[in-house]
Chain A
Amino acid sequence: MVERLLKNKDFWAGVMFIGFGAAAMFIARDYRFGSAKLMGPGFFPTILGGILVGFGVCITAVGLLRGEKIQERLSIRALVLLPLSLILFGLLVQSAGFIPAIAVLMFIAALSGRQFRFLEVLVLTGILVVATVSLFIWGLGLPYPLFKGF
């Protein structure tokens, strides 16, 4: 039973909508609701949150009735490494410069695939560094230092 619930597609979709809706309503308590005539900043979000919770409840119910399972596969490796590569890019582009940020992003992203060939990624990184530096830094004139703190 528990395992079936864990893989229940609609159940989780519903729970997610309830979560978003309830959180929105909860946070929007701090914003003045106002009235229909003079809508405060809390008016629209509270109503939207309520609608979302309503949909969430219906979808959860559908899920419990239908019990459709999640069929898509998920590569945990990609799920972890790809967002991580972006985060590292964000950190490095400010602290180490444009080129190191791109190089690290390339390597971490490439690692998230099934096949990783070091030399191939190295060559590709070289090509992309040249391409992006000429397009974005020299071409479009974006003011990012290529290297920083070296």
Chain B
Amino acid sequence: MRLVLFSSYVPFVNGGGKFIVEWLAEKLRERGHQVERVYLPFSDAPKDLLWQMTAFRLVKIDGADRVICFRPPAHLLQHPNKVLWFIHHLRGFYDLWDTDGAPRHTPYYKALRRAIFQADRVALNEAHAIFANSRVVQKRLKKFNDVDSAVLYPPLLDPTAYCNRGYGDEVTYVSRLGPYKRQHLLVEAMAQVKTAVTARICGAVPGGLYSKELLRLASKLGIADRVSIENRWISEEEKRDIIGRSLAVAYFPLDEDSYGYPSLEAAHSQKPVITTTDAGGVLELVTHEHNGLVCDPDPKAVAEALDRLYSDRELVKALGSKAAETVEKLHINWDNVIDSLLA
């Protein structure tokens, strides 16, 4: 098939929204399909939304048998054979409308919200098929747009590259650094642990403000010797090694749309994930005391989870091997993805 993968992007930002497209392109090519990726720039400043949505609606893609659309507003594309792999809404106008993350409820933005809902209704109903990248997104599609979709979990590019290299004493948090990923929760928890467990936090952050905050926090709490914090890009190889040797993986995003690649990397490496009850999509993969530990989002609860895993290696092994099994059970693999998207 001749396939175009169509998404929006912010120049110079490499996130999960881009990986899902790049990796799918590679896997489709391996299976002999002709693939082109089309990314158009998109700024999510609320005042610029309407015009940009119009632009995306007007895009014409010739010569493709099927177009797979990802990040909004790519789904607005007009194409006779359009499949959506929906990864999130314009959240400020959907699930975050009544939070601080929303634009002010002025008459303009209320009207814009109605316009967005209408545009989405049209675009969603045109699609040949709709897949959500998580149950969270699936539920939002049902709740806000009254649209049924199937869950299609995004796999890692090369899952077999992740493996268990033994259980060390270190809990790792390898992810983009940022307040919404709440690495500070791990730092604060480390001040309350009673065992000799150590922690490593690493990943890149633009600007570096948050990483400085983390460093200050660690030194204020007097635990800088047991928590390493590095603001830098971690290569795939290094990441596999860090996770592969870890005791467990920490991942505390606030209300994430999907399980997040860090959870999946942990599972493929047979490591338990410590996460929080408010982590959103992560909970689709991580079940308390089955393949990880789910605790309240407070330092004391996290500290208890860290100590528990440090002290009970049999539990770590049991949870870790269940984590790997979970990936199988949820059919998180490329064959399933591609069969679904091309059906």
Q: Do A and B come from one complex?
A: no
